[in-house]
Amino acid sequence: METELTGWTAEPGADDVEAIREVLLAVKAADGRPEVAEAGPLPREFAGGLHLLARFDGKPAGYAHLDTDGDSYGRQVAELVVHPDFRREGVGTALARELDAKAPESARVWAHGDSAAAAALAKGFGLGRQRELLILHVDVTGADWPEPVLREGLRLRTFVPGQDEEAMIAVNARAFDWHPEQGAFTVDELRAEEKQTWFDPAGFFLAENASGDVVGFHWTKVHEPVPGRFGGEPVGEVYVVGVDPGTQGGGLGKALTLAGLRFLRDRGLRQVILYVEGDNAPALAVYSKLGFTRFETDVQYGR
């Protein structure tokens, strides 16, 4: 039996989309990610770009996606997943070979979970570790998170859909002008996220100055339970915390973080996660003091 590839396409047909979904759902059941629904559009990270489906013995076995728009630095970024039933059958190698031929030299490839198999596959194609994205975790039970304290002239309120998108995105762009993905987040993408079932403006905190300008935010998220992951319980996330560089200092970032954490705790959630760059020492120090420890590592490979 051999791996059969559909060929790269910008618009997979309905049958191929459902085959891709079948692969992603199986990977989610085994690994806890990606977040993919039983119906509807594929997750945002797989939107647009080019798609490559692999079949093994006629069954959906693997999938590669190449984001041809690229990140904020212009690097194309790829995702490659293999159905758990077809791992160690050469499916990953076949997809990686096609990806290597298609993507430019500057491209990066995500490996979620930092597995030995992914490391070996990357090494075989001459790819090295270029970026680490850490997933931190805290057990909320017994967490002693004090009320946020804001310096004079600042106040917290919650996000108002239809009103605050442009102000939030403006702060986000300034706060994350260095970040490969977050800095390019747009108003249209924010509005699309507002239509997701998990979106809750009550957990989206904004900091305003005395003039009413938005100078920081903390956007929280609640993940639906995934069997075998976090005890099958819903999990809160410190989704994004951003502070306008002109307002940094005075503990605003910590105050925003505490506001979101207390909101998630008050919802009855027992576990919270967050993603942070592995080389962001100041942020790691803050989260460590709040009780977070490393849970998983995502690795971006490249040349």
Give residue-wise pLDDT tens across range 118-131: 999 999 999 999 99
- Digit-coded pLDDT (tens) for 253-271: 999 999 999 999 999 999 9
Residues of the chain with CATH 3.40.630.30: 3-126, 137-298
For position 76, what pLDDT does the model report? 96
Q: Is 79 annotated as a binding residue?
A: no
Residues 6+ apart with CB under 8 A from 11: none
Identity of the residue numbered 291: G
Task: Please name the fold of domain 137-298.
Answer: Aminopeptidase (3.40.630)
Residue 76 annotated in ligand binding: no
| 278 marked ligand binding residue | no
Least confident of 40-44, 271-275, 281-285: 40-44
Please name the residues in contact with 295: beta carbons below 8 A apart, sequence gap of 6 or more: 135, 136, 137, 273
Provide the pLDDT for residue 302. Answer: 95
- Please tell me the predicted confidence (pLDDT) of residue 298: 95
What's the topology of domain 3-126? Aminopeptidase (3.40.630)
Instruction: Report yes or no: 158 and 204 within 8 Å, Cβ to Cβ.
Output: yes
- Is 221 annotated as contributing to ligand binding? yes
Mean pLDDT of all residues in 226-248: 89
Q: 1 pLDDT band (50/70/90 cuts)? A: low
Distance, CA of 187 to CA of 212 (rounded, Å) = 20
88 assigned ligand-binding residue: yes
Q: Is 235 annotated as a binding residue?
A: no
Does 251 belong to an annotated binding site? yes
Instruction: Confirm whether residue 252 is marked as ligand binding.
Output: yes
- Tokens, residue 72: 């904020």
Q: Is 92 annotated as a binding residue?
A: yes
Residue 58 marked in a binding site:
no
Q: Is 237 known as a binding-site position?
A: yes
